[in-house]
């Protein structure tokens, strides 16, 4: 019987008609160039075709083996953020005309996507306090890796890059993957033992004429806020290096924008802006830089520019611009190999940001600060628990340390039993912290869930066991 499928509009009858229209008798004639030796002479070892209903059932079967984090009971962050998503966001961002288009190579019929991406660039620029933002990188980790490469292109004769030693270990891994073949050495700058803040003396001692750029984060991977930014700005620029800042874009309703303290390049994770955590992707590398041609020319990724029609009456319009930086023109001399990016996640971020507006960003920043500080204070009341584990101030994430016999693993397992999920265990990454965990509290975490978390931790730390 003929195999029919909803995705395939050519029936066997139409197939014959089409073949004979150009003098072929069978499909086989079209594959004549593939030598016999390279033909697959058996069926693929892949399950047989399923109907839509069967596919939906299989998906539900898989989904039901997971425990989703939309309950407000999962206190994980560390580069992926569990936040509320207003209903307008997915409804608009996944409109079919956005979803099923590709890069706007034909601006005449793609003004909708181009204007949306221009608005994305513009709103991110407002949040970051910088003039230029590209239309997306893959995620924050690869965005940072590109920032390292970019700094070394702007500062052509320099081949070192400094990062704080409190950097996200995954970011450390990703930037090293990219930097090593480019001949760039990445060095770590130490921190003050009590506050975890950047050790400025160590920064100065490492900041020689070989350093192309210096990276700082706000808030940092470990959650603390780095307040020495004005001094860092001065020190880094006095040495002729670029200042690269990693930022939590969602904090920028209440925290000072990096453009305000001299950042030349800014990177951030845009998943927080209206996209679900989705097991690690698709995310959004927010990537911005200063309005200086020397820097802009080294920018990776696509840029949408505002322009107008060539002739009067002039009408405003949008186009992809500065394309000669890109791989399809410049090939091996391009600023990056990036081609497909994360445009739809940028559209999502645009809808989210315009939905929240300035008031929403400020309020959200405050809500998160209140909830996370409440959690830390409650935890810190437990004897044998320190939260936050170090002195500096924080916003959304903080390290909690367990003393005595309670291991972070035991706390984690006890929380799981109560249908809660603790933060990322840091014991391996940061053995010097002892038994510790990076907790993340957002607007999704209500008082009840926080109180239950605190109660389980108290149980484990004071009684040595989480089961009840």
Partner 1 sequence: MNRQRDSQDSKYRQANWNEPLLFEMSVSGKIAHRLPAVEDEVKRLAGSLDAMIPAGMRRKQSPNLPEMSELQVVRHFTRLSQMNFSVSSGIYPLGSCTMKYNPLINEQAALNPGLAWLHPYQDVSTCQGALELMWELEQWLAELSGMDAVTLQPPAGAAGEFAGVMIIRAYHKHVMDEGDQRKEMLIPDAAHGTNPASAAMAGFKIVVLPSSNEGLVDLDALKAASGPQTAGLMLTNPNTIGVFEKDIGEIAGIVHDSGGLLYYDGANLNAIMGISRPGDMGFDVMHMNLHKTFSTPHGGGGPGSGAVGVKEKLIELLPVPCIVKVKEGRFDLNYNLPRSIGKVHGFYGNFGVLVRAYTYICALGKEGLRRTSEIAVLNANYIAHHISQIRGFSLPYSPNTPRMHECVISAENLAEETGVTAMHVAKRLLDLGLHSPTMYFPLIVPEALMIEPTESESKEDLDLLIGAFKQISNEAYSNPDIVKSAPHSTALHDLDEYRAAHPKTLTLSWRMHQKRTAK
Ligand X SMILES: Cc1ncc(COP(=O)(O)O)c(C=O)c1O
Residues that bind ligand X (CB under 6 A): 339-340
Any contact of residue 338 with partner 1 (CB under 8 A)?
Answer: yes
**Residue 15 CB: number of other CB atoms within 10 A?**
13
For partner 1, which is the closer residue by CB, 208 or 231? 231
CB distance 307 to 317 below 8 Å: yes
3-state class (DSSP) for residue 224: strand
Least distance between ligand X and beta carbon 285 (Å) = 14
Least distance between partner 1 and beta carbon 246 (Å) = 12
Least distance between partner 1 and beta carbon 461 (Å) = 20
Any contact of residue 25 with partner 1 (CB under 8 A)?
Answer: no
Task: State the binding partner of 46 from ligand X, partner 1, none, CB within 5 to 8 A by kind.
Answer: partner 1
Least distance between ligand X and beta carbon 102 (Å) = 9
Least distance between ligand X and beta carbon 340 (Å) = 3
CB distance 98 to 347 below 8 Å: yes
Least distance between partner 1 and beta carbon 249 (Å) = 10
Q: What span, in angstroms and rounded, lies between the C-alpha atoms of 219 and 229?
A: 11
Burial (Cβ within 10 Å: 0-12, 13-18, ≥19) of residue 164:
buried
Radius of gyration of the chain (CA): 26
Binding range to partner 1, per CB under 8 A, among 159-167, 371-379, 398-406, 453-461? 371-379
Exactly one of 5, 25, 156, 194 binds partner 1 (CB under 8 A); that residue is 5
Q: Which of residues 86-105 bind partner 1 (CB under 8 A)?
A: 86, 88, 90-105
Q: Which of residues 250-289 bind partner 1 (CB under 8 A)?
A: 252-257, 269, 276-283
Least distance between ligand X and beta carbon 103 (Å) = 8
Q: Which of 247, 192, 200 is nearest to 225 (CA)?
A: 247
Q: What span, in angstroms and rounded, lies between the C-alpha atoms of 180 and 360?
A: 41
Any contact of residue 221 with partner 1 (CB under 8 A)?
Answer: no
Q: Which of 147, 145, 125, 121 is nearest to 134 (CA)?
A: 121
Task: State the binding partner of 241 from ligand X, partner 1, none, CB within 5 to 8 A by kind.
Answer: none
Least distance between partner 1 and beta carbon 220 (Å) = 12
Q: What span, in angstroms and rounded, lies between the C-alpha atoms of 141 and 172?
A: 9
Exactly one of 395, 398, 402, 433 binds partner 1 (CB under 8 A); that residue is 395
Least distance between partner 1 and beta carbon 215 (Å) = 15
Residue with tokens 């109907």: 51
Q: What span, in angstroms and rounded, lies between the C-alpha atoms of 201 and 66?
A: 48
Any contact of residue 24 with partner 1 (CB under 8 A)?
Answer: yes
Q: Which of 237, 235, 325, 243 is nearest to 290 (CA)?
A: 243
Task: State the binding partner of 210 from ligand X, partner 1, none, CB within 5 to 8 A by kind.
Answer: none
For ligand X, which is the closer residue by CB, 251 or 341? 341
For ligand X, which is the closer residue by CB, 307 or 340? 340
CB distance 436 to 429 below 8 Å: no
Q: What span, in angstroms and rounded, lies between the C-alpha atoms of 165 and 187?
A: 8
Any contact of residue 431 with partner 1 (CB under 8 A)?
Answer: no
Q: What span, in angstroms and rounded, lies between the C-alpha atoms of 326 and 342?
A: 16
Any contact of residue 313 with partner 1 (CB under 8 A)?
Answer: no
Residue count, binding to partner 1 (CB under 8 A) = 211
Burial (Cβ within 10 Å: 0-12, 13-18, ≥19) of residue 23:
exposed
Any contact of residue 61 with partner 1 (CB under 8 A)?
Answer: yes
Residue 251: alpha-carbon gap to chain centroid: 14
**Residue 391 CB: number of other CB atoms within 10 A?**
12
CB distance 78 to 263 below 8 Å: no
Least distance between ligand X and beta carbon 423 (Å) = 34
Any contact of residue 391 with partner 1 (CB under 8 A)?
Answer: no
Q: Which of residues 183-212 bind partner 1 (CB under 8 A)?
A: 183
CB distance 61 to 74 below 8 Å: no
C-alpha dihedral over 427, 271, 197, 367, to 10 degrees?
Answer: -100
Any contact of residue 126 with partner 1 (CB under 8 A)?
Answer: yes
Any contact of residue 166 with partner 1 (CB under 8 A)?
Answer: no
Residue with tokens 């020190």: 235
């Amino acid at each position: 019987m003929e195999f029919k499928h909803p995705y395939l509009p050519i029936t066997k009858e139409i197939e014959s008609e089409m073949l004979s229209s150009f003098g072929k008798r069978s499909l086989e004639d079209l594959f004549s160039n593939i030598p016999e030796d390279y033909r697959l002479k058996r069926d693929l070892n892949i399950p047989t075709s399923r109907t839509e209903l069967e596919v939906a059932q299989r998906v539900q079967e898989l989904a039901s083996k997971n425990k989703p984090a939309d309950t407000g009971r999962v206190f994980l962050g560390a580069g992926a953020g569990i936040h509320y998503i207003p209903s307008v966001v997915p409804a608009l961002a996944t409109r079919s005309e956005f979803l099923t288009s590709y890069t706007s190579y034909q601006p005449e019929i793609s003004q909708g996507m181009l204007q949306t991406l221009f608005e994305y660039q513009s709103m991110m620029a407002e949040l970051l306090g910088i003039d230029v933002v590209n239309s997306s990188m893959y995620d924050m980790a690869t965005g940072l890796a590109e920032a390292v490469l970019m700094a070394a292109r702007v500062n052509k004769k320099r081949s070192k890059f400094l990062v704080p030693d409190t950097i996200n270990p995954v970011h450390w891994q990703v930037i090293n993957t990219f930097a090593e073949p480019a001949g760039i050495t990445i060095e770590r700058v130490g921190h003050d033992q009590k506050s975890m803040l950047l050790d400025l003396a160590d920064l100065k001692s490492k900041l020689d004429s070989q350093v192309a750029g210096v990276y700082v984060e706000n808030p940092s991977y470990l959650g603390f806020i780095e307040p020495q930014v004005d001094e860092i700005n001065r020190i880094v620029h006095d040495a002729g290096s670029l200042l690269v800042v990693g930022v939590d874009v969602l904090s920028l309703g209440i925290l000072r924008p990096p453009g305000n303290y001299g950042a030349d390049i800014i990177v951030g994770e845009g998943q927080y802006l209206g996209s679900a955590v989705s097991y690690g992707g698709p995310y959004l590398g927010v990537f911005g830089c200063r309005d200086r041609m020397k820097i802009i020319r080294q920018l990776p990724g696509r840029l949408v520019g505002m322009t107008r029609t060539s002739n009067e009456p002039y009408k405003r319009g949008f186009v992809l611009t500065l394309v000669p930086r890109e791989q399809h023109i410049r090939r091996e001399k391009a600023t990056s190999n990036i081609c497909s990016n994360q445009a739809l996640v940028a559209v999502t971020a645009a809808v989210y940001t315009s939905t929240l507006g300035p008031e929403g960003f400020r309020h959200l920043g405050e809500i998160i600060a209140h909830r996370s500080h409440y959690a830390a204070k409650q935890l810190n009341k437990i004897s044998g628990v320190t939260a936050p584990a170090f002195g500096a101030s924080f916003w959304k994430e903080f390290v909690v340390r367990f003393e005595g016999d309670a291991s972070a693993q035991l706390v984690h397992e006890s929380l799981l039993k109560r249908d809660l999920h603790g933060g990322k265990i840091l014991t391996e990454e940061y053995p010097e912290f002892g038994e510790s965990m990076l907790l993340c509290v957002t607007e999704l975490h209500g008082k009840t869930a926080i109180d239950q978390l605190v109660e389980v931790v108290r149980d484990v730390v004071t009684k040595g066991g989480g089961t009840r």
